[in-house]
Chains A and B, each alone.
Chain A
Amino acid sequence: AQSVAQPEDQVNVAEGNPLTVKCTYSVSGNPYLFWYVQYPNRGLQFLLKYITGDNLVKGSYGFEAEFNKSQTSFHLKKPSALVSDSALYFCAVRDPVNTDKLIFGTGTRLQVFP
């Protein structure tokens, strides 16, 4: 069965420093991978996705993610964090062999300190 893990409940980073939010997955085939961000009392906003092709995916607000098949990871990165990046981040996976649903990780709270 497909699954996705976000091993860190919270990530703290100083403004201006690079940030990484980790995500690993388990699927039977090649995965479709997504990152979303949620601000307080709001729905989820799409950041980026990997379907096929280049392993480095660039998305909204300066975020990017690298698909690593050997490590089954899809970590979210940003070269320079902003205080406004503070939010809840979700990784999600869809298994193209068993494409019945999009499975979300438990979320990682990113706190960027000024």
Chain B
Amino acid sequence: KAGVTQTPRYLIKTRGQQVTLSCSPISGHRSVSWYQQTPGQGLQFLFEYFSETQRNKGNFPGRFSGRQFSNSRSEMNVSTLELGDSALYLCASSTGQFTDTQYFGPGTRLTVL
């Protein structure tokens, strides 16, 4: 089975712009979670989508949003980028059962200048 894929792998944007990141889960997985990883804050949960519905949400401002499509692929959008949004954005997929393992993609490295 193919693993979780994320595109693009690297992005450079300037402050004020917006960005969309994409995540394709493992085939058969219906849950996609997004995380932000920074050296200072570690791994922070952004949100989780399950069957096209946002099931959980972390403590991030409304500039961070996401969606999930009928094929379980997910996108994450960040509007009005700030310097502090520079991070590695990771997505993880699972079947959606709470005991199930989340499998991570390689991440998208976002740099905001």
Contact = CB atoms under 8 A, between A and B. Distances in A.
A51 interface: yes
What are the 7 closest A-B residue pairs judged by CB atoms, nearest first? A43-B104, A104-B43, A44-B104, A99-B98, A100-B56, A43-B106, A106-B42
Interface residues of B, number: 23
B104 A102 contact: no
Nearest to A90: B43
A102 B42 contact: no
What interface size band does chain A fall in?
A: 20 to 34
A102 B102 contact: yes
Interface of A: 32, 34, 36, 41-46, 49, 51, 90, 94, 96, 99-107
Given A101-B58, A102-B45, A43 B107 contact: yes
Contacts of A46: 101-104
Given A34-B102, A42-B106, A102-B45, 11 more contacts: A46-B103, A51-B99, A96-B98, A99-B98, A100-B55, A100-B56, A101-B48, A101-B56, A103-B45, A104-B43, A105-B42
Contacts, number: 47
B66 interface: no
A35 B113 CA distance: 34
Contacts of A49: 101
Interface of B: 4, 6, 33, 35, 42-43, 45, 48, 55-56, 58, 90, 92, 98-99, 101-107, 109
B98 A32 contact: yes
B101 to A, nearest CB: 5
29 contacts: A32-B99, A34-B102, A36-B104, A41-B109, A43-B6, A43-B90, A43-B105, A44-B90, A44-B92, A45-B104, A46-B103, A49-B101, A51-B99, A90-B43, A96-B98, A100-B56, A101-B33, A101-B45, A101-B56, A102-B33, A102-B45, A102-B102, A104-B35, A104-B42, A104-B43, A105-B42, A106-B42, A107-B42, A107-B43
